[in-house]
Amino acid sequence: MIIAGKWVLPITSPPIADGAVLVENGAIKALGSKEELILKFPHEKLMDFKEALILPGFVDAHTHLEYSPFRGVVADLPFWKWKLEITKLSFSLDEEDWECSAELGLMEAVRAGITALGDITKSGASLRAAVKAGLRGCIFAEVSGMDHRQTENLMKEMIKRLDNWRNESKNSLISLGVSPYSVYNSCPLLLKEVAEFSRQENLLFAIHLAGSRQEYDFVKYGSGPLAHQYRDLMGWGEFLWQPTGVSPVRYVENWQVLAPNTVAIHCVQVSEEDIDILRRYEVRIVHCPRTSSKLGMGITPLWSFIRKGFVTGLGTDSPASNYTNDFFDEMRVSLLLQRGLSARVEALSAEKFVEMATLGGAQVLGLDDKVGSLEIGKRADIIAVDISEAHEAFGRDPYSLLVYWANQENVMMTMVDGKILYREGNFYSLDSEGIISKTRKVKKKLLDS
């Protein structure tokens, strides 16, 4: 099959005007101009998207898809109040609710041109939804607990869950990882044990790190709402929590958590010294600009991470905080915030953010040998983005069209591993109407509780 469009953006090589990609058995076999590929492969079926950009699918390096119906339930609260409210509401959902909630998230991700994701889940609902939909990604088993006496049990339970998930995701495009959620809900022993386990088992280790000012105050000074209201809500009030006197990054370093398999999410409340520590351990970074801005957590000093050569991806962090999976918006907001903050333009180009949204995310999730760019031999995770309504106003620079103009509604086609999952209003692996009607009930439950 030849997929053609106004521009092909391979990411690792310059854009090809009036370009095309040849896909065979789920892999990319050739790239070039449309004319050239049609001449060379006259018997291949042509799928011509005409006024469209053809590029690798977006890699959402951090999300919680099962929280999708929480959108609009808790709005305009600062991070810690939002976290408290979301946690309380989550107690009202049962297993079936999480399953269809994750399917809703998956469906929206596919519609938005996301072809791979890094999802943190306790229930495993996102794993089952991703397997069903045919999406690629790394699913992280969430674990948390402040009672250090429970560490052994929590580890056993997590390992059992991983075994089950391995069975459930056999022959799929899913790999597994582990994730003690954060420093404010996982005791240091648990952090250390999970990190050691991940290194032994060669799994990725994800953690929300240095996100909010409240997390910083909790670790360094042992104070603030995460040391009181949140711990009380979770029933951890009886466990002594003392100030450590160090930043969250220094704290996890002291507990031997950091390593090249660490995926650190947020990294907003970080000093240059913290950034240097993360660099020393070759930590991978996920930047969630819309979530951290919306919840008033602050702005990641992304320029420092880029300058220091970090592997960096973008994450939507779920519709519960962010409302949409729109990766165009994620790139746009990120670029504008960073340019405004650093007063730098050239180093923070639209091209750089498209790279971060595709190849960068794939590198974070260890998928860059298979996807993240359009190269011969890589798997065919490809999207088509309609630019006909831009009326060629920005016709010379396709990257700028993606970042400054397009939205998720412009995604015409989402292909994973050579299979079309979505095309112009139709989902091919998901029952969209069924999912929407089931999640309406979940939404009602959330609103009534």
* List of residues contacting Zn ion (CB under 5 A): 317
Considering the complex, state which of residue 317 and residue 381 has its C-beta at the smaller distance from Zn ion.
317
Considering the complex, state which of residue 28 and residue 138 has its C-beta at the smaller distance from Zn ion.
138
Asked if residue 383 lies in contact with residue 56, where contact means CB atoms within 8 angstroms, the answer is yes
Least distance to Zn ion, CB of residue 426, Å: 31
Least distance to Zn ion, CB of residue 366, Å: 19
Least distance to Zn ion, CB of residue 23, Å: 33
- Smallest CA-to-CA distance from 139 within 185, 179, 86 is with 179
Considering the complex, state which of residue 99 and residue 317 has its C-beta at the smaller distance from Zn ion.
317
Considering the complex, state which of residue 315 and residue 366 has its C-beta at the smaller distance from Zn ion.
315
Name 285's bridge partners: 264, 312
Considering the complex, state which of residue 292 and residue 408 has its C-beta at the smaller distance from Zn ion.
292
Considering the complex, state which of residue 316 and residue 410 has its C-beta at the smaller distance from Zn ion.
316
Least distance to Zn ion, CB of residue 215, Å: 12
d(CA 144, CA 181): 6
Least distance to Zn ion, CB of residue 88, Å: 17
Largest Cα–Cα separation, the chain: 73
Q: Return the sign of the alpha-carbon dihedral for residues 32, 36, 37, 40.
A: negative
Least distance to Zn ion, CB of residue 432, Å: 25
Considering the complex, state which of residue 317 and residue 329 has its C-beta at the smaller distance from Zn ion.
317
Considering the complex, state which of residue 127 and residue 384 has its C-beta at the smaller distance from Zn ion.
127
Considering the complex, state which of residue 59 and residue 411 has its C-beta at the smaller distance from Zn ion.
59
Least distance to Zn ion, CB of residue 267, Å: 12
Name 33's bridge partners: 19
Considering the complex, state which of residue 264 and residue 406 has its C-beta at the smaller distance from Zn ion.
264
Least distance to Zn ion, CB of residue 64, Å: 6
Least distance to Zn ion, CB of residue 359, Å: 22
Cβ-Cβ contacts under 8 Å for 267 (sequence gap 6 or more): 209, 210, 211, 249, 274, 275, 278, 285, 287, 300, 305
Least distance to Zn ion, CB of residue 62, Å: 6
133 CB neighbour count, 10 Å cutoff: 20
Least distance to Zn ion, CB of residue 286, Å: 9
Residue nearest Zn ion, Cβ-based:
317
Considering the complex, state which of residue 61 and residue 435 has its C-beta at the smaller distance from Zn ion.
61
